[in-house]
Amino acid sequence: MEYGQTTLILRRLLARIRDVMASEGTAHARLASIVSIIARDLSSEVCSIYVRRAGDVLELFATEGLRKTAVRRTRLRIGEGLIGEIAAKGRPIALADAQNHPHFVYRPETGEEIYQSLMGVPILRGGRVVGVVAIQSVRRQQYADEEIEALQTVAMVLAELVASGHLIARDELVPVEGIALAPTRLEGACIAGGIGVGQAVFHSAGYRVHKLVAEDVGVEHERLGRAVADMHGALDDMLRDRSIVDTGAPRDVLETYRMIAEDVGWLRRISEAIDSGLTAEAAVQKVNDEIHARMAEVADPYLRERVHDLEDLANRLLQHLLGIDTSSPNVPANQDYVIVARNLGPAQMLDYPRDRLRAIVLEEGSPNAHVSIVARALGIPVVGQVQQALQRIDIGDLLIVDAEHGQILVRPNDDIRQQYARSVASQKERRATYAAAKDTPAVTIDGTRIEVHVNAGLLVDIQDFDSIGADGIGLYRTEVPFMVRSEFPDTIAQSQLYRKVLDYAGTKPVVFRTLDIGGDKVITYGQQRFGESSAMGWRAMRVSQDRPAMLQQQIRALARAASGRELKLMFPMIADVSEFRFGRRLVEKELRRMERTALAPPMTVRVGAMFEVPSLAFQLDELLAIADFISIGTNDLFQFTFASDRSSYRMARRYEMLSPAALRFLRDILVASARSDRPLSLCGEMASRPLDAMTLIGLGYRSLSVTPPAVGPVKAMVRSVNLAELSEYVHSLVDSRQRPLRSHLRSFALDHGYVIQ
């Protein structure tokens, strides 16, 4: 069904439902009319509405198509059958062959045995599931995304009728004896994937400062000095703790955190605040508040998370100043638990016993946070951006944190827990399958080899590189060590880091991206700040052209690290070919310098460009004539193409990467690259989603670079694909006028048995 057609049908359907709801008659009679309208307008033989009753039961309240005698007789527990699963997880289900699904439960009194396909969505009221509306059809059909969204819109309207108190008593829709009849469902953003179950434990981040004015400034300076020394000692103990090291926790992240704790600028400002007459603890709080207020307007997500690191350190310093012992946080004895917090620092997380920590829920948080990096390394699920989590969750509540879908279920019943237990088992089984096949190359059914590389930015991303199963490192972001230090890392320090990256990769290729700093990616030593926007201002090669010594030193470090090995590097955010020529000249200058000084150069050097700025499309032939390779960064490319800030949660899903415009753009780049016989790869987040990656290889891409957790799923997808039939379909779809493409591509994949989970 075309998108425009679906929209017209939905408008008409909602108008009819509105008229029925405003008409006279009982609520049950109106509900009976509504299911008939939904079935007719959505071209389905069946429409049924189940209402949540006391005792965690779903009762059939109205139906069109099933036997009328089943109304008020058919009941399902939450988690029982497909309808129960929709209520349990609070998510839609759309199946072409419902009866063969393992969760299908047959109720003979309904007469539903003749119906093959089913689509159902939860009816939500105030975050709680109060019912389910489902349609069924005799024929097997794949439901499109727009059809699911249409039924979800209808469910929003139905929620008003269910909650009116005319169908069932309102007492059944509110919590009884402190337990919600339906699980409260909170939504957020997936920061570290996985599923965790445990009791809610609140993290208290702040400490109240009572004494503000110093009696003796000298004494306060001495107190600060002792507290800083104690804090550094505690952090050093944490870095030496074998229980942390042995878990594979990212030591480089913790060392970065330790370096921030030594930042002389931060400590100097605290000392100056003491000089003004404040106590040491009041000075710490004052400086922390000032930093938070000043940095709150910074758009760059990485920098926002460094503010949280300083907040974490300020709180740790206050602990030492106030004599508070937090070495053993208050967690339930012998129980799995989930930390709930506004935000959390990496050291704060590691203060908690990790053997029973199952997940983290944050009101703030982002994938760039140090706590997120550490949590991913330890396999702890994290959901961030959960509004009012601390108000809507009670201490001790049982939580299911479904980070894969960015949701938290509060106070779930046993049936829901069993559903998620099965999901966890299935997830473990898939991961075991990926691990077993890690050394199996990604080759399509009809024999085409697809390279699957990995994106990285910290050593933790690749310290177990052999276990990832990637063909190489397609993108190593080099700016992080520059951004977390209080002084410029010299050539030796940089070279040591780059050599470790090459050592971890072994014989497999590594592509280093040179510095992408500037704009809001601030380095605090000598960088002039201008007023441009973070994404389109003074950053990347623009900074390097104005500060060539910085890039020259990095190239020197890269060349020394790759002595006797292959060196592949690429320049970010090239908007004009002259910028690439500038960077290439610096590389050639450094190689000549190594020859003069008798230093062993890299065995080979290949210099490429990131394709992230649309203006490069009009200079592509000129660039390809002088670049050794190009790599497409879809994150920035489509941010600029659609004028859509990718750091904005509001804009995150507004523009579809699997749209004809985006795919035609990618195809044009591919054609130009093939014409010049230059290697082309794609390293944006788009490639990490199996369905999107499937579309890319159907379009013609043969080298993808993905996040470490995506390597297994993407390789599994590749091995399930018949590339000839996929390519024919993708190209026909891109040239068509169909919208949106994602649902068509998903249906094609499912119909042909492609693995896109």
- The DSSP secondary structure of 63-132, one letter per residue, reads EESS-GGGTTT-EEETTSHHHHHHHHHT--EEESSGGGSTT----GGGTGGG--EEEEEEEEETTEEEEE
Which range in 254-268, 531-545, 619-633 is most confidently predicted, on average pLDDT? Answer: 619-633
Over residues 214-226, the mean pLDDT reads 88
- The reported pLDDT for the residue numbered 249 is 46
* Cα–Cα distance, 644 to 652 (Å, whole number): 8
Domain-embedded: residue 437: no
- The reported pLDDT for the residue numbered 460 is 67
* Cα–Cα distance, 15 to 649 (Å, whole number): 31
Asked if residue 618 and residue 527 are part of one domain, the reply reads yes
Distances (CA, A) of 236 to 121, 262, 348, 750: 51, 12, 14, 52
Asked if residue 286 and residue 237 are part of one domain, the reply reads yes
pLDDT at 246 over 50: no
Q: Confidence class of residue 601 from pLDDT cuts 50, 70 and 90?
A: very high
Q: Confidence class of residue 93 from pLDDT cuts 50, 70 and 90?
A: very high
Asked if residue 571 and residue 465 are part of one domain, the reply reads yes
- The reported pLDDT for the residue numbered 329 is 66
Please tell me which residue, 237 or 573, carries the higher pLDDT value: 573
pLDDT at 130 over 80: yes
Over residues 48-74, the mean pLDDT reads 92
Is the distance from CB of 574 to CB of 635 less than 8 angstroms?
A: no
Asked if residue 706 and residue 730 are part of one domain, the reply reads yes
Over residues 165-169, the mean pLDDT reads 77
Q: Confidence class of residue 598 from pLDDT cuts 50, 70 and 90?
A: confident
Torsion angle in degrees (nearest 10) through CA of 406, 409, 414, 416: -40
The closest of 676, 705, 641, 243 to 474, measured between CA atoms, is 705
State the Cα angle at 128 between 126 and 133, rounded to 5°. Answer: 105
Residue 189, SS3?
strand
End position of a domain, from candidates 296, 322, 348: 322
The closest of 16, 234, 48 to 123, measured between CA atoms, is 48
- The reported pLDDT for the residue numbered 532 is 43
| Helix intervals (H) in 597-681 | 620-624, 634-641, 660-676
pLDDT at 377 over 70: no
Question: What percent of the chain clears pLDDT 70, i.e. is strictly above it?
Answer: 82
Over residues 630-641, the mean pLDDT reads 90
Long-range pairs of 243-248 with CB within 8 A, sequence gap ≥ 24: 243/354, 244/350, 247/354, 247/377, 247/378, 248/377, 248/378, 248/460, 248/463, 248/464
Asked if residue 300 and residue 177 are part of one domain, the reply reads no
Number of H helices, E strands in the chain: 27, 22
Peptide bond before residue 740 is cis, with ω within 30 degrees of 0: yes
* Cα–Cα distance, 442 to 528 (Å, whole number): 46
Q: Confidence class of residue 185 from pLDDT cuts 50, 70 and 90?
A: confident
Is the distance from CB of 118 to CB of 95 less than 8 angstroms?
A: yes
Please tell me which residue, 201 or 326, carries the higher pLDDT value: 201
State the Cα angle at 419 between 415 and 422, rounded to 5°. Answer: 140
Residue 628, SS3?
coil
- The reported pLDDT for the residue numbered 699 is 96
Distances (CA, A) of 82 to 97, 99, 192, 236, 514: 12, 10, 28, 52, 51
Asked if residue 364 and residue 460 are part of one domain, the reply reads no
pLDDT at 179 over 60: no
* Cα–Cα distance, 67 to 713 (Å, whole number): 43
pLDDT at 463 over 70: yes
Asked if residue 196 and residue 176 are part of one domain, the reply reads no
Domain-embedded: residue 451: yes
* Cα–Cα distance, 99 to 710 (Å, whole number): 31
Enumerate the β-bridge partners of residue 725.
Answer: none
3-state secondary structure 359-397: EEEECCCCCCCHHHHHHHHHCCCEEECCCCHHHHCCCCC
Structure tokens, 671: 């054609």
Asked if residue 701 and residue 720 are part of one domain, the reply reads yes
Domain-embedded: residue 147: yes
Question: What percent of the chain clears pLDDT 90, i.e. is strictly above it?
Answer: 38
**Sign for the pseudo-dihedral over CA of 333, 339, 340, 346:** positive
Over residues 476-493, the mean pLDDT reads 73
pLDDT one-digit tens code per residue, 300-311: 555 555 556 666
Place of tokens 């075991």: 432
- The reported pLDDT for the residue numbered 527 is 44
Least confident of 449-463, 476-490, 552-566: 476-490
**Sign for the pseudo-dihedral over CA of 587, 589, 595, 599:** negative
Asked if residue 406 and residue 460 are part of one domain, the reply reads no
Residue 625, SS3?
coil
The closest of 462, 447, 637, 432 to 535, measured between CA atoms, is 637
Q: At what angle do helices 251-261 and 301-322 cross, to 10 degrees?
A: 70
Averaged pLDDT of the chain? 82
SS3 of the chain: helix, strand, coil, percent, to 5: 50, 15, 35
Structure tokens, 719: 């091995």
- For residue 540, which amino acid is it? A
Structure tokens, 251: 């030591």
- The reported pLDDT for the residue numbered 289 is 66
Is the distance from CB of 696 to CB of 682 less than 8 angstroms?
A: yes
Please tell me which residue, 11 or 44, carries the higher pLDDT value: 44
pTM of the model: 0.66
Which range in 225-239, 252-266, 580-594 is most confidently predicted, on average pLDDT? Answer: 580-594
Least confident of 431-435, 487-491, 524-528, 731-735: 524-528
Is the distance from CB of 610 to CB of 629 less than 8 angstroms?
A: no
CATH at residue 21: 3.30.450.40
Distances (CA, A) of 515 to 46, 322, 366, 536, 622: 59, 41, 22, 15, 23
Over residues 618-623, the mean pLDDT reads 95
Domain-embedded: residue 425: no
Domain-embedded: residue 419: no
Is the distance from CB of 478 to CB of 484 less than 8 angstroms?
A: no
Domain-embedded: residue 208: no
Asked if residue 241 and residue 198 are part of one domain, the reply reads no
Least confident of 34-43, 225-234, 267-276, 286-295: 286-295
Place of tokens 């290889």: 697
* Cα–Cα distance, 414 to 396 (Å, whole number): 16
pLDDT at 159 over 70: yes
Q: Within 13 A of 51's CA, how many CA atoms are on the CB side?
A: 26
pLDDT one-digit tens code per residue, 398-428: 999 998 888 999 988 777 888 888 877 877 7
- The reported pLDDT for the residue numbered 419 is 81
* Cα–Cα distance, 677 to 693 (Å, whole number): 22
- The reported pLDDT for the residue numbered 530 is 37
Domain-embedded: residue 50: yes
Please tell me which residue, 64 or 56, carries the higher pLDDT value: 64
Structure tokens, 425: 């088992």
CB atoms within 10 A of CB 509: 16
CB atoms within 10 A of CB 268: 11
| Helix intervals (H) in 188-300 | 217-240, 242-245, 251-261, 264-275, 280-295
Asked if residue 295 and residue 340 are part of one domain, the reply reads no
pLDDT one-digit tens code per residue, 704-754: 999 888 899 999 999 999 999 999 999 999 988 777 788 889 999 989 999
If one counts the domains in the chain, the total is: 4
Q: Confidence class of residue 636 from pLDDT cuts 50, 70 and 90?
A: confident
Over residues 588-600, the mean pLDDT reads 91
Note down the domain range covering 455: 446-751
The closest of 207, 206, 213 to 283, measured between CA atoms, is 213
Q: Confidence class of residue 649 from pLDDT cuts 50, 70 and 90?
A: low
End position of a domain, from candidates 411, 429, 463: 411
End position of a domain, from candidates 292, 322, 352: 322
- The reported pLDDT for the residue numbered 663 is 94
Asked if residue 286 and residue 337 are part of one domain, the reply reads no
pLDDT one-digit tens code per residue, 539-571: 778 888 888 888 999 999 999 999 999 999 999
Q: Confidence class of residue 431 from pLDDT cuts 50, 70 and 90?
A: confident
Q: At what angle do helices 370-378 and 301-322 cross, to 10 degrees?
A: 90
- The reported pLDDT for the residue numbered 696 is 97
For the chain, give the number of residues: 757
CATH at residue 742: 3.20.20.60
Domain-embedded: residue 301: yes
Q: Confidence class of residue 394 from pLDDT cuts 50, 70 and 90?
A: confident
Q: Confidence class of residue 471 from pLDDT cuts 50, 70 and 90?
A: very high
Contacts of 642 (CB under 8 A, 6+ apart): 654, 655
* Cα–Cα distance, 409 to 430 (Å, whole number): 23
